[in-house]
Structure 1
Amino acid sequence: MSNVVETVKQVVKPILEKQSFSLFDVEFVKENKSWYLRVYIDKKGGVTIDDCVLVSDELGEKLDEMDPDPIPQQYFLEVSSPGAERPLRNDDELSQAVDEYVHVSLYQNLNGQKTYEGYLRAVDKDSLTLQNDQWGKQDTVIIPKKLVANHDSQLNFR
């Protein structure tokens, strides 16, 4: 099914570029007896329902026009944002999340804590800088990336 995902990525990218959106992910999965094509889009400031409808309509049209049909089985098309607590999976996504509120889980304690929440202020090749305003005092912590527990599930944008 990765062929379907790759085809959809190629078809949706020009639609997204035209609207200044970015592609977060594409999934083609079977749940119970139904197939779902899920396209997750993003943009600075967040995605609206109208954004999702716009992309869904254009993508649906493009896929319907293709011959041969890249998805021969019946499926449901869903276009949405990656969600408020989406994982930050790589350095590009980390860089895009600068100045956003994030949650970070660590493999081991840093300054007596294994989790941090705050505004991501900087990212470099070795560390993340978080700023938190707790109880009226502003704390800044530099977290070595090697301590971050699995980017896929433990570093989340909120």
Structure 2
Amino acid sequence: MSTSGSRSGPVAAQRLTGWFTPVVTAAGYDLEDLDVRAAGTRSVVRVVVDRDSGVSLDDVAEVSRALSDVLDVQDDDPGRSPYVLEVTSPGVDRPLTLPRHWRRNVGRLVTTSVGGAEVLGRVVSVDDAEGVTLAVEKGGAKKGQVRKAAGDRTLGWDELGEGRVQVEFNRPAGHRDEHLVHEGPADDDDEPLTADDVDELDDGTDEQDDAHDGAADAAQDQDQERQ
């Protein structure tokens, strides 16, 4: 768990992790990250949760209430600074480092490092014992090139580097993120994307993450004042 920026050091994060983990697990989620940061006279406690079926706004609200209740019961330190509790789900930029991270991204295009070389492929399946099977794609690095399928490749956990989900501008039919495809004009000339193009596309592909963050800021954050 991350403790960078913690007002009270690793002890505070470890204490919160000990309180939160059983509650999050009992609710059917994984506690992916816990971060404590100073924000003026307050401390921001940011909790990231996830599960195989994904995390909705209602899920965020449920977990936030449960963790707030834990703090009300457990935290009896009168000298602790006020805090803001934020609960959210992982963003698409979260590195894939554990089997469950890979499993939750089956069907998505990812890059990973294998033996010092970068491999691009779509996650076909994940086996907690054996590793990850990718439908490897090659080419497409230069203008006019089209990526071509290079066959499936199974990579064991001992050779697989951390993965990164790739933003796709043209997803295949039936893709799990098909509803996030940008509906802008077709690029018949296959011209490189401009900075404006990327900003516009990001507005679509980040829709779900923005919704989570917005809800956390507007409604789900629990501002618990404790002296």
- Relative to the length of structure 1, the TM-score reads 0.71
Distance, in Å, in 2 between the alignment partners of 1:46 and 1:84 is: 12
Distance, in Å, in 2 between the alignment partners of 1:7 and 1:29 is: 15
Task: Trace 1:1-158 onto structure 2 (pairs within 5 A).
Answer: 1-31=9-39, 34-69=42-77, 72-90=80-98, 92-94=99-101, 96-97=103-104, 99-106=106-113, 108-109=116-117, 114-123=118-127, 128-131=132-135, 139-143=151-155, 148-149=160-161, 151=162, 155-157=163-165
Percent of residue pairs bearing the same amino acid type: 21
SS at match of 2:48: strand
Structure 2 CA distance for partners of 1:25 and 1:120, relative to 1, 3 Å:
farther
5+ residue gaps, structure 2 = 1-8, 138-145, 167-227
- 1:125 to partner: Cα distance: 6.8
5+ residue gaps, structure 1 = none
SS at match of 2:95: coil
Q: Pick the structure with more strand per residue.
A: 1
Distance, in Å, in 2 between the alignment partners of 1:59 and 1:3 is: 18
Look up the equivalent residue of 2:123 and give its one-letter code. Y
- 1:96 to partner: Cα distance: 3.9
Structure 2 CA distance for partners of 1:72 and 1:118, relative to 1, 3 Å:
same
Whether contact under 8 Å (2:106, 2:123) holds in the other structure is yes
- Structure 1 segments, 4+ long, off by >4 Å, are 31-34, 123-127, 132-138, 143-149
Structure 2 CA distance for partners of 1:63 and 1:97, relative to 1, 3 Å:
same
Distance, in Å, in 1 between the alignment partners of 2:79 and 2:62 is: 21
Whether contact under 8 Å (2:31, 2:49) holds in the other structure is yes
Distance, in Å, in 2 between the alignment partners of 1:135 and 1:59 is: 46
- Relative to the length of structure 2, the TM-score reads 0.52
RMSD (Å) for aligned C-alpha atoms? 3.4
Distance, in Å, in 1 between the alignment partners of 2:149 and 2:41 is: 53
1:45-87 CA deviation, whole Å, 9 max, x = no partner?
2101111111111211211222533981122110011123321
